[in-house]
Structures are given as structure tokens and as C-alpha cells.
Structure 1
Amino acid sequence: MKKLVRRWWEKRGKLQVTPSWQNYFWRLRLGWDHRGVKANYRRGPSTFGISLQRIEAGEQVTSYGGLEPILYKYVHYDLMVKTSYSHSFQNGLTAGMAINYLYSSQASGTRISTQLVAPNTSVSLDLGANYQFPKIQSSGFILSPHLGMALTDFGAPSHYADPDTKHPLATTLRLGGGANIALNKKVYGWQVVELSVMQNVSKVLARIEVKSNDNGFYRNAMNPFKALVKSWGTYEYYDGPRIKKSNFSEQLWWHSGVELKFLETIALRWGYQKAGKAEEEMSYRALGAGIDLYYLVFDYTHIKNDEDDNLLVGHHWQITGRIPLDGTRPDTILNMLFD
């Protein structure tokens, strides 16, 4: 037993921790406060992760000529917990899964219009896989392509704002690929230049059905297993008072990204998301930069869309800490500059 413990201790991996704090503002709210922390522990081919996020909403402000829309909840908070595990196989395949838990206080004890809203919980599942192709190496560069897919937020419908109506979770199927191109030249052991490109496409697999009972017609979430099959055709949606249709191609979301990294330390990034027709306001462009000092990683992103009416629009800062638990002390660019 002592030998097993010693062997496990000697193979200790790396712990990575990322705190998060954001303040979001919108015309109907005084603001949302977002606080949380993400951590993952990598040991050999296995990676364990946990994420805790809490979003608290401020009071709703009067708008639209004194009318307060009843579709938005009053003071409440949401708590999101995610646990994940992934395993990398020797053939280049990595597979993983995650369990998500969401608790929403939903303005417990207050009324929205004439409706008393109670707290709500939901549980969902993420599944994903990525295949890393063998590297293609020449005298000038090293090419590392990969393909991946994921099904996220798959779970039972949830009573979100109306206890008499079930709303579907945003189950999403994602497919995509990318490549890392590194100049076959190193300085002080670091790659001089690396270029990473990514192109993904995603499709929401969730539907709301119109049903009938003795009281008339009502809307309810489609069974999530049924929605996996029935969410590929054209559907109708409301755009204000008008009813519009969205065909398959108009339901696709496109995600593109490029990162240019120098000496494995300084990164410049560009990203673009084109949302589906019914969610066009969620399309945005992003520019970012990062500095990776191994023990500390600093990242900045600026997000913008055409409407400037999105909670994500604006400046985003992130700091990540890495803790090597195996006793190693990797060099950083600071060693090259100051040694």
C-alpha cells in the first residue's frame, strides 16, 4: 500500500484555477453580478474539473414609457455547478462528460404580474469527443489537425418562469475542427510562432410543441429524446407581432477563431460568432490578447455586436493560476529575460 501511495504521489499532476467576476448591465436591469471559480486537475491521461458560478440579478428598472415587462424576473440569483471528467487515449482520441446542476431562486416570494414564482432546479448532461490526427512535420513547420463533436445541456425540460409550462433546455450539438501550425524553430526551448485556427458549427436541438386540453391550446417543451430527432426541420417563431419561419440552414450557428502565439507566451486572438436567423442579436465579433507565464495567465477580450444590446458586449478580463503538484518548476519567459 505504501508503494502505491508513493507511486501516486510521485505522479501528481497539475492543478489549474480560474476565478471569474463580471458585472453585466442592460437597459431593463440595474445589473447582474457574476462570481465564480473554475478548477481542473490533470494527472496523466485523466482530467477532472469542477465549476461553481453564481449570477445575482439586480432590481428591474421602469422602462418603455413606465411599463414594466412581465417576461423578466425580479431580484433573484442563479447557481450553476458543473463536474467533468475526460480521458485521453494513446490513439489520439479524447472523450469526456460533464454533469450540470442549475438552481434558480426565481424571485422566490415575489410576484411577476399575478404569478407567484417558486425556485427551480434542473440537471443536464454534456458528452464530447476530440480526435487529434498524427502530426505532419516538414523542415519548415509542424501541422497538428483535430476534429471534435459535443452534445451539451441534454436534460429534462424545466419549469423556469411559469409553473404550468415546461421550457426546454438549450440542448446543442456542436461539430468542428481546427489545426495548430507551428514554425519548426525554437528559441530557448520555446516555439517561436504558432498559429491556431478553428471552425465550428452548432445546432440547437430543442423544440416547443403546441398541445391541447379541455381548457384549449397550450405550449410545452418537447421530450428531449424526441427533440433530438424532430429539431431538424423548419419551425415558426414570433418576431414581434409577426410569425416567421426558419429553415435548417438558418438555424445553424457558425463559430470561427484564430490565435497567433509568440514564444508560447504572448497571444493575439480574433473570433466571430454568427447566430441563427431567430437569434441574430447573439452574433458578435471578438478581439483578444493573452500573456501566459505558466503559473499565472492573463487574458483580455473585447466583444462587440452590431446592436450593442447584448450582455456579453464589452471588456472581459480573466486571470488563471496553475499549480504544479509534481514538484516541477517549469521555466517561463521571465527566466529568459531576467536570468
Structure 2
Amino acid sequence: MQPIHNAVLAAAGIALVLLGVGSLRPASAQLLQTAYDFQTVQPHPSVHALGNATVAVRGYPGAIGVNPATIGAEEAVRVGSNINLSRGPAYSSPWFRSGFWIAAPTATMKRGPWAGGVQVKHFSRGTTEIRNAQGERVFFGSAFEQSIKLTGAYDVTSSVTVGGGVNLIRSRGVYGDGENVETHPTADLGVQYHTQSEQGSVTLRPSLGLSLTDFGGTVSVENRPGDLAAPTTIRGGGALQISSQSRQFGRPEWRVGLYGALSNRLVSGEFVEENGEEYFEADGPFKALFAGWGSTTGVFRSRGEQAEVSPWERITKHAGLELSILDLLSVRLGRFHESDDNGGRQYTALGIGVDAYYVSLDASWDFRDGPVDRLSYGRLTVRIPLSDSPRNFWPALLGGVD
């Protein structure tokens, strides 16, 4: 146990250093200074309900958008997408709601030490009109942002998994000249460490995760000076799953999961004044890796005033708790907290999941602290096992044999 203990402490120390212990220099960037902010939204109920604290957890739907190293858990193909909930969530599937909606069909596969995944996340902004400085209409029609993500993961050892991915972000009527579809590539990297030990009548599964997502260059906005940064985000955190060693139908009788994470959007740059107009000029992604940790000048959405944000305030905090019976019924509770000067998204989330092995259904709702629309998500996932062992699940369940 001593090597495992040392490895956990070392990985935790690295994560703390990368997540903001100290800063190299003050930076000037934050809210309203990144493009493609829809990439920070994870429309997956399990991730949403756990406060986006799942960077260290393998196998959850939505892992492809949080940490590419965690996309696979067992030898199976899993395919899923959003579904609409009653009365329509703020972000929904296109079949039931017009205007603003977001959908994210996803497919992942795990086979041996390798895993792969693909996700197409589409954010519709509805009908949009864009005019230039002279008041001339340059675009009128359907505006959207879309991310096509391909990821892969590999088990380096029985405890360490690494992953990476590439994204092609496409947009129309948001960035660029309106009519054309603009493209912008970004990259993802991730690592996850996990181990297992038996203590008395329970099994402990601690894990650590670290990821860097949407690492890419700056983005120009048509008819506006300056550049915005891609929403490069670093996440680090841990998880502890405690499960019963006694099993029914091949599953633990109960399981408790504790999850925590910190995240920081790595943006740096400076405000430039030219011809009496002040605008933000973002640094490139490599410079932002080192400069994106210091105090920053944020922007209030309501008044457009600049506000100082400390290094700790620019870090978002995530926490989650999960209770599961037979891994069949799960109840989730999460907390997501941004500082007021750094976006101000603060909410408690609640979720429920039913996993019948071959088909699972998840739903989540949040309860916002501020006067904004609450979000809710639903998702249906189909699992296709690639090994013989899962075939014992349904005969044991229906026949009452373990």
C-alpha cells in the first residue's frame, strides 16, 4: 500500500500546483474574452448532476467533454444522446423545442487497453441578425456553434490511463463574416490514475484526474478589433468510490461516490486602446498556459465595467455526491460555484439515473442561485457489450441467481 499512497500524494501535489498555487504574473483576461463558450456547457445529466466534478471518474456519459482519459470503463460500445424532459429544459433536443437548444450525440468503445469516442455537440442560437458598423445587414438566418470531437485513450498500466482528442469547432453567424461556416481546431489531453483496495466489507476505489481541453489559437470576430481566446480549460480533481463487497446479480449491493474538482479557464492578454476604442487582445495558447494563473481583469455583463478577479476567484469549484443501489438506481447531488466577478454561475444540481445494463436513462435539474433560467437534461444511452460476462446479468436478475 505504501507505493500506492506515495503515488496518490505525488499526483495530488502536481494537480494542486497546476491548479493555481502561485501565479507567474498578473493577466488581463476573463469573462467575455473567450470564444465558443458553449464548449464549457456539458449537456450530460450525470456530469451536470455532479457539479461537473467528474474529471477523475471513468466511464460516465459525458466524459469525452471533461477528460479524454476517462472515456472507457468496460469492454462495450455505448451510444447515447439528449432527450427532452417535460415542459422543456432551457437547453433541449431539436425535435421538441425551437430557438436555443443544444444536443450532443456521443459514441464510445472500450476494447482491451484501448478506448475511442466521438461526439458532435451542436448549439443552435436560433435566428440571428448581424449588422456591420454602417448598419448594413451582413447576415440573417440560423446561427449555430458546433464541435466535432474525436478522442482516444490507452491504459499505460493497470492504474494509469492517458488520453487525447482533437476538435473541429464550426460556427455560422457568430464568428467570421456570417454567411460562411468558420472552422477552428482545438486539442484535448488527459490523464487518470486509479487504484483499488479492500478494507473490511467494502472496496475502496480512489482516483485522480487531470485534463486540458479546447487548447487552441485565438479567434477573430468580424467587424470587431482584437482577438478572443479559445476556451482552454484545465481541470484537476479526485474521486473516491466506496462499494459493498457483497453482491447481487453480479453487482455491488450499494455504492457511494465522492467527487471534487477545480477548473480554470486559461486566458491571458491585455486591453488595448486604439482610436479612442478599447478592446481585448488575447494571448496565444502557449503563453496563456503560463500567464493564465494570475489576477485578471474581468468584465461585468450588465454594466461592462472591468473588475479585478484574484487567482483563487478565477478558479471554479466543483463537488458531487452519488448514492447507488445495485448500480441500478443512482441518486446524485452536485455543487458548481464560480465567483461573482468570473461569470457568477452558482447552482446546486440534482440527478437520478436508472441503469438496466443494456439501456440507461439519466436526468438532471439544477437550482440556480441567481435570476437565470434553470437547466435540465435528459439522456438515453444504449450499451452493447463486447465480452461474454455481461450475458450473465439478465439471467441472474430474472432467475434470482447470483
When normalised by structure 1's length, the TM-score is: 0.81
Aligned pair count reads 308
Distance 1:241 1:295, change over 3 A: closer
Structure showing greater relative contact order (alpha-carbon pairs closer than 8 Å, 6 or more residues apart): 2
Change (3 A) 1:116 1:266: closer
**Separation in structure 1 between the aligned mates of residue 322 and residue 346 of structure 2, nearest angstrom:** 20
Give, as a single letter, the amino acid of the residue that structure 1 aligns with 2:110: R
CA distance in 1, matches of 2:180, 2:349: 37
- Note the 1:119-134 alignment, pairs <5 A: 119-133=181-195
Displacement of 1:173 in angstroms is: 1.2
Q: Unaligned stretches of 5+ in structure 1?
A: 1-11, 62-72, 110-114
| Partner Cα distance (2:313, 2:234) in 1 | 15
Change (3 A) 1:55 1:120: same
User: Are the structure 2 counterparts of residues 264 and 56 from structure 1 closer, same or farther at C-alpha, using a change threshold of 3 Å?
Assistant: same
Q: Does 1:159 align with 2:226?
A: no
2:89 touches 2:377 (CA, 8 Å); kept in 1? no
The 3-state SS of whatever aligns with 1:288 is strand
Distance 2:178 2:206 in 1: 53
Which of 59, 75, 89 in structure 1 is aligned with 2:156?
Answer: 89
Give deviations 1:227-273, integer Å, cap 9, x for gaps: 11111211222321533211111111011011111112111101111
Match of 2:291 in 1: 230
CA distance change for structure 1 residues 338 and 188 in 2, over 3 Å: closer, same or farther? closer
Unmatched tracts of structure 2, length 5 or more: 1-73, 92-96, 130-139
1:120 is displaced (CA, Å) by 2.1
1:10-33 Cα shifts (integer Å, max 9, x gaps): xx942110122566649xx97313
CA contact (8 A) 1:152 1:171 kept: yes
| Equivalent position of 1:195 in the other structure | 256
Match of 2:230, SS state, is: coil
Alignment check: 8 A CA contact 1:180 1:196 kept: yes
Instruction: Show CA shifts across 1:24-75 (max 9, x none).
Output: 649xx973133341001111011010011222222369xxxxxxxxxxx973
Matched, 1:50 2:102: no
Mapped partners of 1:328, 1:304: distance in 2: 40
Change (3 A) 1:197 1:161: farther
Does 2:318 correspond to 1:255? Answer: yes
2:369 maps to which of 300, 303, 306: 306
Identify the residue that residue 31 of structure 1 maps to in structure 2: 99
RMSD: 3.0
Q: 1:173 aligns with which of 214, 218, 234?
A: 234
Residue 101 in structure 1 maps to residue 162 in structure 2: no
Do the aligned partners of 2:241 and 2:256 also contact (CA within 8 Å) in 1?
yes
User: What is the CA distance between 1:130 and its match in structure 2?
Assistant: 0.6
Bigger radius of gyration: 1
* Cα deviation code 1:254-313 (max 9, x no counterpart): 110111111121111011111133234322111011111111011111112112414xx2
Deviation at 1:191, TM superposition (A): 0.5
Counterparts of 1:259-298 in structure 2, within 5 Å, are 259-298=322-361
Q: What amino acid is aligned across from residue 87 of structure 1 in structure 2?
A: Y
CA gap 1:39/1:309 in 2 versus in 1, 3 angstroms:
same
The 3 A distance-change label for structure 1 pair 117 and 283 is farther
CA distance in 2, matches of 1:159, 1:196: 42
Go from structure 1 to structure 2 and tell me whether the alpha carbon gap of 1:57 and 1:338 turns closer, same or farther (over 3 Å shift): farther
User: C-alpha distance in 2, partners of 1:95/1:251?
Assistant: 27
1:56/1:125 CA distance change after superposition, 3 Å: same
In 1, Cα distance between the equivalents of 2:322 and 2:349? Answer: 12
4+ aligned runs moved over 6 Å, structure 1: 213-216
**Match for residue 39 of structure 2?**
none
TM-score between the two structures when normalised by the length of structure 2: 0.69
Q: Which of 2, 9, 15 is the equivalent residue of 2:77?
A: 15
CA distance in 1, matches of 2:205, 2:281: 45
Q: Aligned letter for 2:117?
A: G
C-alpha distance in 1, partners of 2:232/2:244? 39
Assess if the C-alpha contact under 8 Å between 1:24 and 1:32 holds in 2: no
Secondary structure class of the residue paired with 1:82: strand
